[in-house]
Amino acid sequence: MKITVAGAGYVGLVTSACLAELGHLVTCIDIQKEKIDMLQSGRSPIYEPGLESMLEKNLSSGQLHFTMNPHHAYSDAEIIFIAVGTPEKHDGSVDLKYIHVVSNLIAYYIENDVIVCTKSTVPVGTNELIQAIIDSRKPPNLQVEVVANPEFLREGSAVLDFFHGDRIVIGTDHHKVASILEQLYLPLKIPILKTDIRSAEMIKYASNAFLATKISFINEMSNFCEKVGANIEEVTFGLGYDKRIGHDFLKAGIGFGGSCFPKDTKALLHLGGHINHPFDLLEAVINVNNRQQSLPVLKAKETIGSLKNKKVALLGLAFKPNTDDVRNAASLTIVKELLEEGAVVTAYDPLAIPNARRILGNTIEYADDIRAALRDAHLAIIATEWEQIKYVPLDVYQNHMRDPIVIDGRNCYPLHEIQKYPITYLSIGRPDVNNARQKKGWE
Ligand code: UDX
Ligand code: UDX
């Protein structure tokens, strides 16, 4: 089919490359010239495992095109996917300005009947709004059907998730349109769920809110474990054996970041305010997450006192491993708090330094390798569990730092290993190692 994807971000690019891989003729449109230039020359502006090779292959076979020209993109498309950003406003609500822009362009440029699928995460009712915008401006002889088709791709494994996702949600009341989309997705052999539009929109928010709740729940439990002398890893292992709970998505740490959970939980809370439905549980999930992101600096102050002029090695900037994305990353909170305390920060990340530098500028130093970051540091904070970080031999901390103190926000190291080294080690929800100042609330 002739498919157009609006937005060459994390979601739009992966969707474009994967649909081309399935044999469709895909045009991806974006407003950023620099991005389109890069993509046309076969380079990906983002890091996503498996993406660049798929882009190259489909670009050279002619299955995939990139453009900034809305006439080329929309005039003869059979299906248009909307994957532009839906960022957060100051009050936590969703900014739909890009959705408005794209809906208007679609209405203006289409020359055929078309199905418009919304991949972007949008509040309930938005697809009806898109339908209304397009209907009010399109040529009267053309038929446009807007479908809620949320994405569930995780950064760092988005290509894998496209081909092996848990489900595909198609939200429309139009049976013929639903069956066209079903045919499109059939080769993936992923369960397809057909719903009404509003339920499809809510499935996305409910999924992200539930996953965020799981993380805040386990983080709250991990803080409890610290106080009672238990080990959160043992607890989650035992918890996960219950089939009703499961082992997945229960890793304690310094909270969730990224472009989805922080934004979507706030958006749902905000929407609750509008419909007179205070979402107390979600408010607690957000508060726990904010507190969790502040834990490393709190622990640092408790352990070494003043951080003024202390050299801190921050290991990991990305909000999770295998991505260069730093949106809402815990690392950004950590940097802000360290700088407020007067610390001197050197950060290492295998991929995310360019994106972090755009936000943090020269307020911190950046190291090309982990040893350079650790050299003469008073303290190391692990913020992302990259393989390049979690497999660093422990004697590297011992040999490069002054008097090694490591605050591991992602529980990268087994406690029995750490115990072999003269390293003061604090992690999340597990007993401290070699910490003379450890507070034992349970004694
Ligand atoms: C996606 C979804 O769209 C968002 O709703 C969801 O919550 C998170 O995932 P993502 O792909 O991460 O967003 O966004 P981003 O990487 O910011 O990419 C959006 C792209 O759309 C950018 O390249 C931007 O230039 C482009 N864009 C934006 C347009 O092409 N046209 C516009 O009018 C606005
Ligand atoms: C998420 C959803 O998983 C995906 O379905 C949706 O479409 C987009 O939002 P993403 O944000 O890319 O994906 O990554 P995810 O793997 O869900 O991790 C989000 C955050 O939660 C990361 O900061 C990660 O470190 C944290 N996390 C995840 C935990 O702290 N513990 C866990 O057990 C899992």
With a 6 Å cutoff on the Cβ, whether 386 touches ligand 2 is no
Per-residue confidence band for 440, with pLDDT thresholds at 50, 70 and 90? low
With a 6 Å cutoff on the Cβ, whether 102 touches ligand 1 is yes
Question: 3 with 27: CB under 8 angstroms?
Answer: yes
Which atom from ligand 2 is nearest to the alpha carbon of 255? Answer: 30
Shared domain for 209 and 239, answered yes or no, is yes
Q: How many structural domains comprise the chain?
A: 3
Question: 39 with 28: CB under 8 angstroms?
Answer: yes
> How many residues are present in the chain?
443
Is residue 249 included in any domain, yes or no? yes
pLDDT at 439: 61
Write the DSSP string, 41-74. Answer: TT--SS--TTHHHHHHHHHHTTSEEEES-HHHHH
Is residue 439 included in any domain, yes or no? no
With a 6 Å cutoff on the Cβ, whether 265 touches ligand 1 is no
Buried b (16+ CB within 10 A) or exposed e, 313-350: bbbbbbbbbbbbbbbbbbbbbbbebbbebebbbbbbbb
Shared domain for 17 and 119, answered yes or no, is yes
Is residue 34 included in any domain, yes or no? yes
User: How far is residue 244's CA from residue 266's CA, in Å, rounded to a whole number?
Assistant: 27
Q: Which two tokens stand for residue 195?
A: 């719903």
Shared domain for 301 and 401, answered yes or no, is yes
Write the DSSP string, 359-385. Answer: HHGGGSEEESSHHHHHTT-SEEEE-S-
CATH of the domain at 419: 3.40.50.720
Which atom from ligand 2 is nearest to the alpha carbon of 156? Answer: 12
Nearest CA to ligand 2 atom 5: 152
Shared domain for 12 and 147, answered yes or no, is yes
For 38-70, what is each residue's pLDDT tens digit? 999 999 999 999 999 999 999 999 999 999 999
With a 6 Å cutoff on the Cβ, whether 48 touches ligand 1 is no
Which atom from ligand 1 is nearest to the alpha carbon of 30? Answer: 30
**75 CA to centre of ligand 1 in angstroms:** 21
Domain ends where: 195, 228, 262? 195
Per-residue confidence band for 170, with pLDDT thresholds at 50, 70 and 90? very high
Is residue 443 included in any domain, yes or no? no
Among 443, 442, 417, CA closest to 433: 417
Secondary structure string (H, E, C) spanning 244-272 = CCCCCCCCCCCCCCCCCHHHHHHHHHHHH
Element of type H or E holding 20: helix 10-21
Among 217, 205, 216, CA closest to 270: 205
Element of type H or E holding 73: helix 70-74
CATH of the domain at 284: 1.10.1040.10
Nearest CA to ligand 1 atom 2: 120
With a 6 Å cutoff on the Cβ, whether 85 touches ligand 1 is yes
Q: Which two tokens stand for residue 260?
A: 């989805």
Cα angle, residue 11 at apex, residues 30 and 61 outer, rounded to 5°: 70
Beta bridge partners of 145: 115
Among 306, 302, 307, CA closest to 440: 302
Shared domain for 36 and 23, answered yes or no, is yes
Please indicate, yes or no, whether the overall pTM of this predicted structure exceeds 0.85.
yes
Shared domain for 270 and 318, answered yes or no, is no
Q: Cα torsion at 395, 402, 315, 216 (round to 10°)?
A: 100
**170 CA to centre of ligand 1 in angstroms:** 20
pLDDT at 273: 86
Shared domain for 158 and 25, answered yes or no, is yes
The preferred substitution site among 11, 36, 84, 127 for testing ligand 1, maximizing ligand atoms within 8 Å of CB, is 84
Among 298, 332, 339, CA closest to 318: 332
Domain ends where: 171, 195, 219? 195
Q: What letter does residue 124 receive in the DSSP assignment?
A: T
pLDDT at 383: 98
Shared domain for 71 and 116, answered yes or no, is yes
User: How far is residue 85's CA from residue 30's CA, in Å, rounded to a whole number?
Assistant: 11
Is residue 316 included in any domain, yes or no? yes
pLDDT at 99: 98
Describe the crossing of helices 295-304 and 280-293 by its angle, rounded to 10 degrees.
Answer: 40
**142 CA to centre of ligand 1 in angstroms:** 27
E strand residue ranges, 163-272: 168-171, 192-195
Is residue 442 included in any domain, yes or no? no
Mean per-residue pLDDT, 393-416: 96
User: How far is residue 393's CA from residue 374's CA, in Å, rounded to a whole number?
Assistant: 13
With a 6 Å cutoff on the Cβ, whether 261 touches ligand 2 is yes
Shared domain for 400 and 256, answered yes or no, is no
Shared domain for 356 and 341, answered yes or no, is yes
Nearest CA to ligand 1 atom 26: 7
With a 6 Å cutoff on the Cβ, whether 154 touches ligand 2 is yes
Tokens 């972007």: give the residue: 120
Tokens 């004697």: give the residue: 395
User: How far is residue 325's CA from residue 320's CA, in Å, rounded to a whole number?
Assistant: 8
Query: Over 80: is that where the pLDDT of 442 sits?
Result: no
For 144-169, what is each residue's pLDDT tens digit? 999 999 999 999 999 999 999 999 99
Residues annotated as catalytic are 260
Is residue 237 included in any domain, yes or no? yes
Mean per-residue pLDDT, 362-373: 97
The preferred substitution site among 11, 124, 203 for testing ligand 1, maximizing ligand atoms within 8 Å of CB, is 11
With a 6 Å cutoff on the Cβ, whether 81 touches ligand 1 is no
Domain ends where: 263, 290, 317? 290
Lowest mean pLDDT among 172-181, 209-218, 269-278, 312-321: 269-278
CA distances from 410 to 48, 100, 407, 428 (A): 21, 39, 9, 7
pLDDT at 274: 87
Shared domain for 126 and 210, answered yes or no, is no
Which atom from ligand 2 is nearest to the alpha carbon of 150? Answer: 7
User: How far is residue 266's CA from residue 285's CA, in Å, rounded to a whole number?
Assistant: 10
Nearest CA to ligand 2 atom 1: 154
E strand residue ranges, 132-175: 144-148, 168-171
Shared domain for 56 and 10, answered yes or no, is yes
Is residue 68 included in any domain, yes or no? yes
The number of the ligand nearest the C-alpha atom of 240 reads 2
With a 6 Å cutoff on the Cβ, whether 12 touches ligand 1 is yes
**220 CA to centre of ligand 1 in angstroms:** 32
The preferred substitution site among 15, 166, 215, 328 for testing ligand 2, maximizing ligand atoms within 8 Å of CB, is 215
Expressed as residue numbers, the domain containing 236 is 204-290
pLDDT at 296: 98
CA 52 to chain centre: 19
With a 6 Å cutoff on the Cβ, whether 253 touches ligand 2 is yes
Query: Over 80: is that where the pLDDT of 441 sits?
Result: no
CA 107 to chain centre: 31
